[in-house]
Amino acid sequence: MYQVKTYNVIAQEGLDTFTKDYQINKSDHADAFLIRSADMHHVNFPDRLKVIARSGAGFNNIPLERATKQGIAVFNTAGSNANAVRELVIAVMVATSRNLIPAYHYAEQNSGADISLHTEKAKDNFRGSELAGKKLAVIGVGHVGSLVANAASALGMDVYGYDPYLNTDAAWRISTSIHRVDSMKEAIQNADYVTVHVPKNKQTTGLISAKEMEMMKPGVHLFNYSRIGIVNNTDVVKYLDNHKIKTYATDFGEDQILGRDDVIVTPHIGGATHEAERNGSTQAARTIMKYLKTGDTTNSVNLPQLRLPFEGPLRITLIHQNVPKMVGKLTDILGDAGVNIDKMSNASLEHTAYTIIDVDGLKDEQKVLNQLKQIDGVYGVRLLKK
């Protein structure tokens, strides 16, 4: 029986996806963690932990290097909540362009009076602009960014996408009406709206700072539904104060930006829809089961993605350093133990590699596994039985 420990609120549909071989609990001795935004940086990973699945896209809450070195596979469910974020971003863009929030407050505050008497005069204060015909820059055109770009284009916006690492799958999702540009400057200069949809990492921290704000058009509306820190809030305050930025809309509050009329903050609700939480939790549950049963690393964010049909009877999977002669060392140990290799596959991702070996004739299982584990640079070894 595999033990699955959950953090955060995980949609019931995902928990119901687990078969009878899995027990969901809060025990620290888990084979799998199923999490959302819980911060894993200070959580000790138990020795038996094999997999962490993040229901959602961002995985900056998980220490990937530590997980890899402990032989733990980490997965996300990118795309599961992309539509939820798209709808929120478009909603806030409309709210911003039509002064919806101040107009709502006006109507609410004047509801005691006969509002119809004042309406014709009051509406002059809330005259807005239409999105159609305006220029939108989308920074990061992955699952979320591509959907935002396509929806904005369908609303008649002139959309520019900047993503130096765009993969082929993402490229297929982008409408041909989106202009693909090769520099941040080309995307953001002259844009009426700028929206950022990138993962948070060392390269993207401060991606939008004073230098980029300086390139923007006066009166720009800036959106950050990615993570705190990708847009530099100290610089945002400066550029809001000098009216270069008209509105800053974000899902991530911080003291210095709160309480201003030109800032719209939501409490991290981008992925908080029934549909997105259901998609994420079921996808995460399936990923955990597949990895534990077959070693399939599709959608892993710390290991190379590898899938090999598992016909049995036995499979050895290894997470190890990506160094020369490693595969030779593994096969030497198996050969010396009289083990026959039926199928084998290996892939690498930067400094890490992952190897799947289907075998038969494995007699002294524990001895062979221990020998494999003792190879310098091997982080984790598992034996799977069909």
Ligand X SMILES: NC(=O)C1=CN([C@@H]2O[C@H](COP(=O)(O)OP(=O)(O)OC[C@H]3O[C@@H](n4cnc5c(N)ncnc54)[C@H](O)[C@@H]3O)[C@@H](O)[C@H]2O)C=CC1
Ligand Y SMILES: O=C(O)CCC(=O)C(=O)O
Q: Which stretch binds ligand X (CB under 6 A): 27-35, 47-55, 192-200, 288-296?
A: 192-200
Cα separation, 185 vs 141, in Å, equals 16
**Residue 117 or 171 with smaller CB distance to ligand X:** 171
User: CB 225 → ligand Y: shortest distance, Å?
Assistant: 8
| From 23, 37, 70, 190, residue interacting with ligand Y (rule: CB under 6 A) | 37
Number of alpha carbons in the 13 Å side-chain half-sphere of residue 59: 21
Q: Is 380 in the site for ligand Y (CB under 6 A)?
A: no
H or E segment and range at residue 385 = strand 378-385
- Cα-flanking dihedrals φ and ψ of residue 75, to 5°? -130, 155
Q: Is 341 in the site for ligand Y (CB under 6 A)?
A: no
Q: Is 197 in the site for ligand Y (CB under 6 A)?
A: no
**Residue 46 or 304 with smaller CB distance to ligand X:** 304
Q: Are 359 and 341 in contact (CB under 8 A)?
A: yes
Which of ligand X, ligand Y, none has residue 163 at its interface (CB below 5 to 8 Å by kind)?
A: ligand X
Q: Is 23 in the site for ligand Y (CB under 6 A)?
A: no
User: CB 306 → ligand X: shortest distance, Å?
Assistant: 19
Q: How many residues sit close enough to ligand Y to count as binding (CB under 6 A)?
A: 9
Q: Cis omega before residue 63 (within 30°)? A: no
Q: Which stretch binds ligand Y (CB under 6 A): 54-62, 112-120, 310-318, 357-365?
A: 54-62
Q: Is 58 in the site for ligand Y (CB under 6 A)?
A: yes
Cα separation, 198 vs 196, in Å, equals 6
Give DSSP secondary structure letters for 295-356: ---TTBSSS--------SSEEEEEEEE--TTHHHHHHHHHHHTTPEEEEEEEEEETTEEEEE
Cα separation, 384 vs 294, in Å, equals 7
Count of beta carbons in the 10 Å neighbourhood of residue 277: 24
Q: Which stretch binds ligand X (CB under 6 A): 15-23, 53-61, 335-343, 377-385?
A: 53-61
Which of ligand Y, ligand X, none has residue 63 at its interface (CB below 5 to 8 Å by kind)?
A: none
Q: Is 227 in the site for ligand X (CB under 6 A)?
A: yes
Give DSSP secondary structure letters for 263-300: EEE-SS-TT-SHHHHHHHHHHHHHHHHHHHHH---TTB
Number of alpha carbons in the 13 Å side-chain half-sphere of residue 290: 19
Cα separation, 293 vs 385, in Å, equals 8
User: CB 91 → ligand Y: shortest distance, Å?
Assistant: 16
Count of beta carbons in the 10 Å neighbourhood of residue 332: 13
| From 3, 6, 17, 81, residue interacting with ligand Y (rule: CB under 6 A) | 81
Residues 268-287 close enough to bind ligand Y by CB under 6 A: 270-272
| From 14, 56, 63, 145, residue interacting with ligand Y (rule: CB under 6 A) | 56
Q: Are 250 and 231 in contact (CB under 8 A)?
A: yes
Return the exposure string of 336-358: e unless at least 16 CB atoms fall within 10 Å of the residue's CB, then b: ebebeeeebebbbbeebbbbbbb
Q: Is 143 in the site for ligand X (CB under 6 A)?
A: yes
Show the CA angle centred on residue 356, arms to residues 352 and 361, nearest 5°: 140
User: CB 85 → ligand Y: shortest distance, Å?
Assistant: 8
**Residue 23 or 189 with smaller CB distance to ligand X:** 189
Cα separation, 28 vs 62, in Å, equals 17
Contacts for 99 with CB less than 8 Å, ≥ 6 apart: 125, 126, 127, 128
**Residue 43 or 240 with smaller CB distance to ligand Y:** 43
At residue 1, the 3 state secondary structure works out as coil
Residues 236-255 close enough to bind ligand X by CB under 6 A: 251
User: CB 183 → ligand X: shortest distance, Å?
Assistant: 10
**Residue 56 or 380 with smaller CB distance to ligand Y:** 56
Which of ligand Y, ligand X, none has residue 82 at its interface (CB below 5 to 8 Å by kind)?
A: ligand X
| From 268, 286, 329, 382, residue interacting with ligand X (rule: CB under 6 A) | 268
User: CB 351 → ligand X: shortest distance, Å?
Assistant: 19
Contact set with ligand Y (CB under 6 A): 36-37, 56-58, 81, 270-272
Contact set with ligand X (CB under 6 A): 56-58, 78, 81-82, 85, 139-145, 162-166, 170, 197-200, 203-204, 207, 225-227, 251, 268, 270-271
